[in-house]
Amino acid sequence: MNLNHVSFPGKHPDEVVLLLQRRHWYLIFGRIVRWVGLSLLPLVVVFLLGRLTEDFSFDPTTVTGAAITLGASAYLLIVWLLFYQDWVDFYLDALILTNERVVRIEQRGIFNRIVSQLTLDRIQDVTTETKGVLPTFLGFGTLNIETAGEQENFVFDNIPNVGAVQAQLLQYAKHAPRMGVERQAPDQPQAPPTNKP
Amino acid sequence: MEIPLLLIAAAYLLVLIGIVIVGSLNVYTALKFGMRSPATTVMSVIFIFGTVVMVLATAVVVSGADWSSSLSVSVPDTNIQNFQP
């Protein structure tokens, strides 16, 4: 996957993105099903009103019909907005591995965004947890990056192909420069040349 | 109780203004932090297009209504003086 176009706040000019991982599609699929179900509610209400009330017939030119139409439209607009907000929340959450560090981005709302980072040399161990029937079949799980020192562990849940991500993280962490000794992974992509004087 | 249809339309407009404000902020967030992904642009365009279509469709459907009329809502009598056990 070509990740040259990927840019995130705080990215260094010579930093190379090696991996960009979002949460599993199953999460957004579940939310889509929920919002589609909720968007059908006005139809169900009109249908039930028609069945339960004998003199009810939906006509948007009458005052009742216009009021129901406006109410249903307002409701659908709110559902539409909440769906979009859910999508933004899902899509902007990401785990990014670069040739220098691991960046975890968590979007929790419009004005609530958490960006945490960890340099590769501070990675002690990476563990994965796949718990439950669906995660096992669909192959997603929780990634836990244990860090050196007092820094909090990095936890990123519902990652697809969690085993492959773990392997990749460990590979780059193993070859990260430690204690001032410069080492580099044999297949690590080189940073693009910069035109700095 | 009589609720004028114009009052319901005004309430709808208030909801619409709220949707436009919050939606715009979401679009801004998606495009600013979307890591230059085309998906954020596509989804934002779909959201804006869907909102416009929904509002226009509503306007067309209710355009034939009599806006001077009122909606009659029967409210239960909650006056304690009229309470009959």
Model confidence pLDDT, tens digit, residues A12-44? 888 888 889 999 999 999 999 999 999 999 999
Picking from B25, B35, B8, the residue whose alpha carbon sits closest to that of residue A21 is B35
- Tracing tokens 């006005």 back to the chain, one arrives at A42
Which residues of A are less than 8 Å from B16 in CB distance?
Answer: 74, 77
For range B63-75, the mean pLDDT? 84
Residue pLDDT, tens place only, B1-60: 788 889 999 999 999 999 999 999 999 999 988 887 888 999 999 999 999 999 999 999
Q: Mutating which of A3, A58, A63, A76 best tests the B interface, going by the most B Cβ atoms within 10 A?
A: A63
**CB pair distance less than 8 Å for A77 and B51:** yes
pTM: 0.81
For residue A180, the model assigns a pLDDT of 44
Name chain B contacts of A66, Cβ cutoff 8 Å.
Answer: 5, 8, 62, 65
Q: Please report the pLDDT score of residue B17 as a whole number.
A: 96
Quote the strand ranges of B1-85, DSSP E.
2-4, 70-72
pLDDT digits (tens, 9 = 90+) for A77-118: 999 999 999 999 999 999 999 888 899 998 888 888 888 888
Query: Which residues fall within 8 angstroms of residue A78, CB to CB, at 6 or more apart?
Result: B15, B19
Residue A182's pLDDT band, with cuts at 50, 70 and 90, is: very low
Six token digits for residue A156: 């990123």
Distance between A181 CA and the closest CA of chain B, angstroms: 32
Q: In this complex, do B26 and A60 lie within 8 Å of one another by their Cβ atoms?
A: no
The pLDDT, as a whole number, for residue A179 is 44
pLDDT at A192: 54
Give contacts of B35 with chain A, Cβ < 8 Å.
Answer: 6-8, 20, 92, 94
CB-neighbour burial class of residue A106 (10 A; exposed 0-12, middle 13-18, buried 19+): middle
Q: How far is A170 from chain B (nearest CA, A)?
A: 25
pLDDT for A195: 53
Mean pLDDT for chain A overall: 84
